[in-house]
Amino acid sequence: MSRLQLALNVEHLDTAIAHYTKLFGVAPAKIRPGYANFAISNPPLKLVLIENPGAVDSINHLGVEVQSVEEVRAEHERVTNVGMPTFVEGETVCCYAVQDKFWIEGGTHKFEVYTVLADAEQMKNTPVALTNHE
């Protein structure tokens, strides 16, 4: 099942979790430091909360979660065939998950199409600092 994704910037994560738990009648599927997501079946929605105090916009980004890498590739082909510019991120770590994704550029808000491949212990790809052992 594909579902729309709405990623929101929130001032206080715990307050937002309580609000959306009551609103949709489901608990978060994942809670990590500064992050939570809800996998809501009715309506089909992936609601992502990102603690970002003082953010200018309440929308962090939008997207569509699909079930497979093949669906990501098919959507990429579809949007590029109609002339939309994209940025292919491929396999990456984002939102405490290993994902395969691409971004559609040019809109008011960032928009991604992605699939989750596995859970991850970090919010996003973090470069590893090289050390000099001379």
Task: Please write the tens of the pLDDT for every residue from 74-133.
Answer: 999 999 999 999 999 999 999 999 999 999 999 899 999 999 999 998 888 765 444 444
- Tell me if 127 is assigned to some domain: no
* Span of 15-19, 63-67, 73-77, 91-95 with lowest mean pLDDT: 91-95
Cα gap 105→17, rounded to integer Å: 30
Which token pair is 46? 């992936």
Cα gap 51→56, rounded to integer Å: 13
Overall number of domains in the chain: 1
Which domain, by its residues, includes 95?
3-119
How buried is 7 (Cβ within 10 angstroms: 0-12 exposed, 13-18 middle, 19+ buried)?
A: buried
Give pTM, 2 decimals: 0.85
H or E element, residue 40? strand 35-40
What's the whole-number average pLDDT of the chain?
92
- Tell me if 74 is assigned to some domain: yes
CATH of the domain at 114: 3.10.180.10
Whose structure tokens read 């991604």?
A: 112
